[in-house]
Amino acid sequence: MPASRARVPVMKTRSAAPRLDPRQPLVLDTHELGRRPGSMRRVHATVPAPPDLGTPVIAIPTRSDVGLELRLESVVEGVLVTGTAALHTSGECGRCLEPVTGELVVDLQELYAYPEAVTRVQQQAGGDDDDELVLVDELLGLEPVLRDAVVLALPMTPLCNENCRGLCPQCGERLDDLPADHGHEQVDPRWAALAALQTSPPAPEKES
Ligand SMILES: [Zn+2]
Ligand SMILES: [Zn+2]
């Protein structure tokens, strides 16, 4: 609708930052840091994984345990979060389609700016502010940072093992489950015809 579009102010507003629910497990409270640069708080927690975390081929099971080991540090511009998240992964082998489960540890590092510091941080970052994270009511939302880190760390093609030989193109069985000499005899059609003659009654020909 062009008419309403014209009324949208050009200036980006920060009021669009989603409000955070402090009861959410991936929302952390920075209140006790008291905006004193240098003050620090450690977070050691196990939280349930949010839904839809991962890629179509490998993902973090919803509500599975996510182990957080974080440092929340008050700096001049905001709160710096550093640490790790340990997660369970579940997917399927890109070659043989077997279920694949594993563990993943991702590094997290992110600055959450105080609302009034956002402009300064943007300028220092060259104005590229699309990923700017802001403290809302002294809360920080870890989920977008966790999502980015997890999606980057997950393999493009998960494998059940590095040497997985995939599926037999003829019968579709897993080659690793089949004997090493597994194969499908490619019978020369002329010999097949001869073999058919030797049996009685001959097998019905379906050759066109
Ligand atoms: Zn495999
Ligand atoms: Zn086969």
Q: Express each pLDDT in 90-122 by its tens digit.
A: 999 999 999 999 999 999 999 999 988 776 555
Q: Is residue 20 part of a domain?
A: no
State residue 200's pLDDT score.
55
Task: Report helix, strand or coil for 177.
Answer: helix
Q: Is residue 37 part of a domain?
A: yes
Q: Is residue 107 part of a domain?
A: yes
Residues near ligand 1 ion, CB 5 Å cutoff = 93, 95-96, 98, 160, 164
Helix (H) / strand (E) containing 136: none
Q: Is residue 159 part of a domain?
A: no
Residue stretches of the chain with pLDDT short of 70? 1-18, 119-131, 187, 194-208
State residue 144's pLDDT score.
94
Between strands 99-113 and 133-134, the pairing is: parallel
State residue 116's pLDDT score.
83
Task: Give the number of whichever ligand sits closest to the CA of residue 165.
Answer: 1
Residues near ligand 2 ion, CB 5 Å cutoff = 168, 170-171
Q: Is residue 114 part of a domain?
A: yes
Task: Report helix, strand or coil for 173.
Answer: coil
**Taking the CB of residue 177, how many other CB atoms lie within 10 A of it?**
12
Q: Is residue 165 part of a domain?
A: no
State residue 205's pLDDT score.
60
Instruction: Give the residue numbers spanning the domain of 91.
Output: 27-153
Q: Is residue 4 part of a domain?
A: no
The total domain count for the chain is: 1
Interval between CA 156 and ligand 1 midpoint (Å): 14
State residue 153's pLDDT score.
96
Task: Give the number of whichever ligand sits closest to the CA of residue 168.
Answer: 2
Task: Give the number of whichever ligand sits closest to the CA of residue 173.
Answer: 2
Per-residue DSSP letters for 13-71?
A: -GGGSPP--TTSTTEEE-GGGTT-TT-EEEEEEEEEPPSSEE-SSEEEPTT-EEEEEEE
Q: Is residue 82 part of a domain?
A: yes
